[in-house]
């Protein structure tokens, strides 16, 4: 049958295998270029270059908040910061975490719902209010990757919500990029700390 059609196993194997290898190689090179580009961008972001600061740190509109991260624009646009990279992981005093987008400052989470998840990202078992955070609809992939959480006011990407939070609370874990947040300490707590340090 092979001789009748003019094609043999040998002639088929000859052109097809190199073509498959070439296609695979091209795809690999494309993915490698994307990965290197992403790594270079992230390296520049972590160094806080002037280009990134021009888009992410374009003004400190509220001095009562912790400084805005140079990665704010990146994560609010859908990116993810490295685990353990945010200073907000260590914040434990009473206060409110707000959206870091300039001009938004929507109260998103209270420190009273913050807990140590061991993931390397600030984690909360509930938002500051029902109207603070928008969640993507449930689906098959959300079982693994969680439901995307966005600021309801400006639409900025915050992180994801999972169903493995403290069972004695809500059972939910809002895994949030620290760069998407800024922290405002409660006034009473700030006054108390100033008084004790002065004494």
Residues involved in catalysis: 175
How far is residue 8's CA from residue 19's CA, in Å, rounded to a whole number?
17
What stretch of H or E contains 24? Answer: helix 9-47
Which residues contact residue 67 at a Cβ distance below 8 angstroms, ignoring those fewer than 6 apart? 60, 182
How far is residue 172's CA from residue 138's CA, in Å, rounded to a whole number?
14
Which residues contact residue 122 at a Cβ distance below 8 angstroms, ignoring those fewer than 6 apart? 86, 88, 89, 91, 97, 109, 114, 176, 177, 178, 181
Find out whether 163 and 149 touch, Cβ atoms under 8 Å. no
How far is residue 31's CA from residue 39's CA, in Å, rounded to a whole number?
12
SS3 content of the chain, % helix, strand, coil (to 5): 40, 20, 40
């Amino acid at each position: 049958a092979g001789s009748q059609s003019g094609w043999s196993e040998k002639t088929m194997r000859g052109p097809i295998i190199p073509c498959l290898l070439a296609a695979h190689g091209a795809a690999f090179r494309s993915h490698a270029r994307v990965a290197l580009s992403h790594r270079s961008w992230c390296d520049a972001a972590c160094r806080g270059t002037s280009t990134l600061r021009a888009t992410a740190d374009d003004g400190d509109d509220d001095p009562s908040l912790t400084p805005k991260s140079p990665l704010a624009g990146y994560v609010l646009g859908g990116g993810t910061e490295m685990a353990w990279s945010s200073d907000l992981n260590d914040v434990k005093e009473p206060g409110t975490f707000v959206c870091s987008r300039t001009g938004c400052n929507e109260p998103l989470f209270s420190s009273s719902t913050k807990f140590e998840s061991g993931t390397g990202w600030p984690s909360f078992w509930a938002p500051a209010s029902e109207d603070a955070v928008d969640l993507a609809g449930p689906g098959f992939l959300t079982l693994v990757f969680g439901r995307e959480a966005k600021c309801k006011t400006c639409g900025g990407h915050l992180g994801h919500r999972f169903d493995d939070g403290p069972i004695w609370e809500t059972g939910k874990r809002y895994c949030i990029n620290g760069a998407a947040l800024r922290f405002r300490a409660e006034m009473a707590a700030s006054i108390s700390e100033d008084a004790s340090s002065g004494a």
